[in-house]
Amino acid sequence: MDNIIKPISDALVKAGVVQDDSLAECVSARWADHLDGKAVVVIVQPFEQGLAA
């Protein structure tokens, strides 16, 4: 599954959504069989102190 994450992360940087993907605090992925066809859902949230605890 990590082979899927890297190209998406690179695309987010190229599109200017994130400045540098190496600064990501948390990345998660899971299969979702209920989506029609191939899809990627990306949720980007700003880092909030205390969430990492």
Q: What Å distances lie between residue 10 and 14, 16, 50, 52, CA to CA? A: 6, 10, 27, 23
Angle at 9 between CA 44 and CA 46, to 5 degrees: 25
Residues 1-53 have pLDDT tens digits of 778 899 999 999 999 999 998 888 888 888 888 878 778 888 888 877 655 54
Predicted structure pTM score: 0.69
Contact call for residues 50 and 16 (beta carbons, < 8 A): no
